[in-house]
């Protein structure tokens, strides 16, 4: 249980900030896929949690493949590192 809480809190914050996006997405993916299997058994017309988990899993797969974008902290830090190297 602690793994789920830790992964969602820290991984979600890292994905939002754009730090280690691929790694954070890969750590969150097993938790979301497990939620899909659990929610699959609770099918009812009012089970909207299943579709939220499907969308979350697809987005995590997308983030794991593409990585962080142009406006992420990873890109900013890479640019700052490149500027520091070029100044020397």
The count of domains in the chain is 1
Chain mean position to CA 73: 14
Distance CA 23, CA 45 (A): 35
Task: State pLDDT tens for residues 3-19.
Answer: 889 998 999 999 999 99
The structure tokens listed for 7 are 């992964």
Res 43: pLDDT? 66
pLDDT at 44 over 70: no
4: how many CB neighbours lie within 10 A of its CB? 13
Range of the domain at 8: 2-87
More confident residue, 49 or 73: 73
**Percent of the chain residues past pLDDT 90, beyond the cut:** 41
Mean pLDDT of 57-84: 90
């Amino acid at each position: 249980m602690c793994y789920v809480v830790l992964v969602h809190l820290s991984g979600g914050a890292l994905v939002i900030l754009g730090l280690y996006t691929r790694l954070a997405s890969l750590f969150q993916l097993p938790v979301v896929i497990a939620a899909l299997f659990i929610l699959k058994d609770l099918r009812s017309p009012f089970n909207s949690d299943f579709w939220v988990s499907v969308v979350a899993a697809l987005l995590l797969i997308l983030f794991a493949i593409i990585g962080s974008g142009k406006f992420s902290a990873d890109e900013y830090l890479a640019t700052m590192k490149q500027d520091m190297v070029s100044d020397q």
